[in-house]
Structure formats: structure tokens, C-alpha cells
């Protein structure tokens, strides 16, 4: 573990240096200079070793915090910072022209959006690739909106068969007489846009072409939005059509067994050909972390609380909050982990030391703590994780949990790290040496 401290010391020395003439990035408070450390020494081609970042939040394209640049330009200026921190992949917002954030896509093949223009997107993705980092595209495949009416799809233009016959557009007068004529919806409906008929070869070919165009821009990974809207076999079908680095689905459900069933179902195509299963966001763990750290019921982190705890760590993307649940620039969300920096630090202390592929939320990383201490701690935790060789499939032995205001959770990870999270006092067994101590958590090494 000596390499951890070498990495952290290097970062501290770099932050004290004067600004290099080739450097374009800045630290979060815009004061201390940031020196480019080059491609991460931990960069490899194995997603199970990765730490990810969701780079955006709700209406981030219009947030005054990003300044006068487009969102793509803002994020490109952060790539050196993220690469220095050994972050491997960045999830970007929907790339196609559409309403607002892009979750109601209009012209799929038009990559000029409120986040920036196509050239700025290409530049960002090229910069990520130059650092051996991965661009994750947000795929809104459940639904689309029309260009001038509810149902007139353009770029690409699709027929009435592309829309499920039981979509609202079939009977609503605002459809202007163009009635959907596809098969009935096979999943949950979405009332804000037209639900796509994935049985249609027109839709399947169009979305496969879309993946090819995203790859040509520089994306190599997929995040599937609202996958409860269509059967998992279509995710398998689209994944099988195009080589990719990583794919993850948003199966928003607190039940581990339901998420597991979706992952299993994603490893077959439409004609039942076997393909690699998609990963999934571990919503069940998100809710358990809230119960454990915010509500101080630390025993919620015993067995069976996460995908990793049931043997699905390699398929698990772990997180605290995202653009939907983070309640930034929106008032219609109720799944916030916590606004407390103490809780946020506890949550990331868990994610960044435990199995699964952890994803840090960009708003937390860039803006939740103006002092920059949260970002510094996250960087240190990432370095510890990588140096210790903790990955998505690491083993966990929960040693003890104590409930209440003086409670805590203690676990051994791969018998390499001992993690105590919570305010209570705890003495480790013999043979463990102090590695990092914060008010919210403590780490020991063998």
C-alpha cells in the first residue's frame, strides 16, 4: 500500500506547483493550479477495475456554475482533473437533439443539442480517448417525440408502425390524425413521449444505426435509459449489434431479485442468441446506504443488501445519486441520498472500498463542497481502491454493525482493507495498520 501514499503525495506536490503553460484545467475553487500527470497509471481494458463519473446533473447545460462555455466545453476542461484522479469513464447526457436535457429525443441523428454542438462533443470524446478514458452514451430507446406534431419522426423518419398502438398518440387529438399502428407496448408506458415498438424492424435497424453513429463520434459504452419500458431481450439485441466496452441499464427498482432477473434476461437477443449480459445500476444498494448512514441503521448492510452480496458484483454499477435523484435544479424528485456532506462522504467511503463498479456523481465531485475537501477525499479513496486492487468482484466480510448515533459498520475487503464507517469508536483486530482516518470513516491496511 506504499504506492497509495506516493500517489497522494504526488498530487499534493503538484497542487503546490506553479501553473504549467500547457495546462488548461483548474481545481474546483479555481485558485490552485493543476498539473497534468498524464494518462492514469491504472488505465487498463478491464471495466471491473473502473471508477466512473456521471458528468452531468439536471439542466447542467444551463447551470451558471459551468460558466459561459457549453456543457461539453466545461467537461472537456475537467478531463485532466478526472484523469489525474484515475477516473476511467464518464457518462454524458443524451447526445441527440431533443427537449431540454434530451430525454425526449427528437432528431436522433442530429448531435447538436443544448449541451453543445457536434464538434464540441467530438472534441470532448477525443480528449477522453486520448487519456484512455471511456465516453458513456445515454441511450433513450424507449420513446421519441415528433418534430412538429406528436408522431412525425424525422432524422430518421419512421412510419406509424414504429409507435406502439396503445400509446397516447393513438387517440389524442394533438396527434393530428397520424395514428400509431405498431404492436402493443411490451413494457411500461411513458406518457411524455411516443413509446417505440421494438418489434418493428424499422426501429431495430434505426437504433442499431444510431449506435454506429455514436461510435463514430467517439463513444464506446452505453447507458440504457428507462429499461422497464421494453423487454431486456432488446438490450441484448442492440448490445450484440455493435462492439462496446461497457453497457448498463437503468432498471429502477429496489428489489435485488428484480434487478437480477433483468440482468439475466439481457443476455439473450430477440432470437434467443446468447450475448454478454448488461450491467445494472444497484438501486437496492442506494436505498440501503440511505437507511444505514442517513438513518443510522447500520445493520442494513448485512448480507443480501447489494448486487455484489448476491454474487453479481461484476454486473453492478454502484452510486449514491444521479440527475434524477439528486434534486439539483428540479423539485420533482424524492430519492435524494442526503444533502449532508458527512453522509455523502460515508456513502462514497463505502462505494469506493467495496465491490461493484462505483460511479461518482459529477455534481458531488465538482460543486457539493466549495472547499474542495470532498473532491480531495474522493481522489484519495480512488487511489486507495486502485492501489489495493479492489475491484467489482472483491470479497466482503462484514465484521460488525452497531445501530444508533454512536454506531458504525465494519467490514474487511479482500482481507486487504478494513473499513469502519460511522461516528462510533472502534478498535481493529491485531494486524491492521491505520491508513486513513476521517470523522466519517476510518481505513486500515494489513
Question: Is 38 within the bounds of a domain?
Answer: no
C-alpha cell at position 13: 506536490
3-class secondary structure, 386: helix
Specify which residues 54 forms β-bridges with: 91, 361
Residue 443 gets the label, from left (phi > 0), alpha (psi -120 to 50) or beta, of: beta
3-class secondary structure, 155: coil
Question: Is 251 within the bounds of a domain?
Answer: yes
Question: Is 72 within the bounds of a domain?
Answer: yes
Question: Is 23 within the bounds of a domain?
Answer: no
Question: Is 58 within the bounds of a domain?
Answer: yes
The domain that holds 156 is classified in CATH as 3.20.20.80
pTM: 0.94
For residues 55 and 70, is the Cβ–Cβ distance under 8 A? Answer: no
Where the chain has pLDDT below 70, the residues are 1-32, 173-177
Full domain range(s) for residue 176: 46-394
Question: Is 367 within the bounds of a domain?
Answer: yes
Question: Is 4 within the bounds of a domain?
Answer: no
pLDDT at position 171, please? Answer: 83
Question: Is 29 within the bounds of a domain?
Answer: no
C-alpha cell at position 229: 419500458
For the chain, how many structural domains are there in total?
A: 1
- In terms of Cα–Cα distance, which of 85, 152, 70 is closest to 360? 85
pLDDT at position 24, please? Answer: 42
84-95 confidence digits (pLDDT tens): 999 999 999 999
Amino acid at each position: 500500500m506504499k504506492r497509495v501514499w506516493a500517489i497522494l503525495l504526488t498530487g499534493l506536490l503538484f497542487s503546490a506547483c506553479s501553473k504549467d503553460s500547457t495546462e488548461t484545467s483548474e481545481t474546483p475553487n479555481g485558485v490552485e493550479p493543476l498539473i497534468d500527470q498524464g494518462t492514469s497509471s491504472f488505465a487498463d481494458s478491464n471495466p471491473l477495475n473502473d471508477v466512473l463519473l456521471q458528468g452531468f446533473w439536471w439542466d447542467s447545460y444551463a447551470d451558471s456554475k459551468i460558466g459561459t462555455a457549453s456543457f461539453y466545453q466545461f467537461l472537456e476542461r475537467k478531463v485532466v482533473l478526472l484523469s489525474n484522479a484515475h477516473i476511467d469513464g464518464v457518462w454524458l447526457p443524451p447526445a441527440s437533439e431533443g427537449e431540454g436535457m434530451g430525454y425526449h429525443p427528437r432528431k436522433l441523428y442530429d448531435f447538436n443539442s443544448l449541451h453543445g454542438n457536434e464538434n464540441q462533443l467530438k472534441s470532448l470524446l477525443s480528449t477522453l480517448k486520448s487519456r484512455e478514458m471511456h465516453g458513456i452514451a445515454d441511450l433513450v430507446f424507449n420513446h421519441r417525440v415528433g418534430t412538429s406534431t406528436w408522431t412525425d419522426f424525422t432524422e430518421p423518419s419512421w412510419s406509424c408502425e414504429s409507435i406502439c398502438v396503445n400509446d397516447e398518440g393513438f387517440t389524442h387529438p394533438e396527434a393530428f390524425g397520424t395514428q400509431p399502428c405498431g404492436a402493443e407496448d411490451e413494457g411500461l408506458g411513458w406518457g411524455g413521449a411516443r413509446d417505440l415498438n421494438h418489434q418493428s424492424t424499422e426501429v431495430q435497424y434505426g437504433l442499431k444505426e444510431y449506435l454506429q453513429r455514436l461510435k463514430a463520434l467517439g463513444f464506446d459504452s452505453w447507458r440504457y435509459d428507462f429499461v422497464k419500458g421494453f423487454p431486456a431481450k432488446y438490450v441484448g439485441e442492440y448490445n450484440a449489434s455493435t462492439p462496446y466496452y461497457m453497457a448498463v441499464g437503468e432498471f429502477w427498482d429496489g428489489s435485488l431479485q428484480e434487478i437480477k432477473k433483468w440482468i439475466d434476461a439481457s443476455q439473450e437477443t430477440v432470437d434467443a442468441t446468447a450475448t454478454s449480459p448488461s450491467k445494472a445500476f444497484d438501486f437496492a444498494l442506494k436505498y440501503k446506504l440511505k437507511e444505514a448512514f442517513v438513518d443510522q441503521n447500520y445493520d442494513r448492510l448485512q448480507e443480501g443488501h447489494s448486487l455484489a452480496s448476491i454474487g453479481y458484483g461484476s454486473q453492478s454499477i454502484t452510486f449514491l445519486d444521479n440527475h434524477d435523484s439528486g434534486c439539483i435544479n428540479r423539485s420533482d424528485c424524492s430519492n435524494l441520498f442526503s444533502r449532508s456532506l458527512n453522509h455523502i462522504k460515508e456513502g462514497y467511503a463505502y462505494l469506493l472500498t467495496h465491490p461493484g463498479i462505483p460511479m461518482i456523481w459529477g455534481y458531488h465531485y465538482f460543486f457539493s463542497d466549495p472547499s474542495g475537501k470532498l473532491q480531495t477525499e474522493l481522489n484519495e479513496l480512488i487511489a486507495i481502491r486502485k492501489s489495493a486492487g479492489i475491484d467489482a468482484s472483491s470479497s466482503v466480510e462484514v465484521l460488525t454493525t452497531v445501530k444508533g448515533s454512536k454506531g458504525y459498520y465494519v467490514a474487511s475487503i479482500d482481507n486487504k482493507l478494513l473499513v469502519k464507517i460511522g461516528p462510533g469508536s472502534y478498535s481493529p483486530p491485531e494486524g491492521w495498520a491505520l491508513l486513513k482516518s476521517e470523522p466519517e470513516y476510518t481505513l486500515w491496511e494489513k
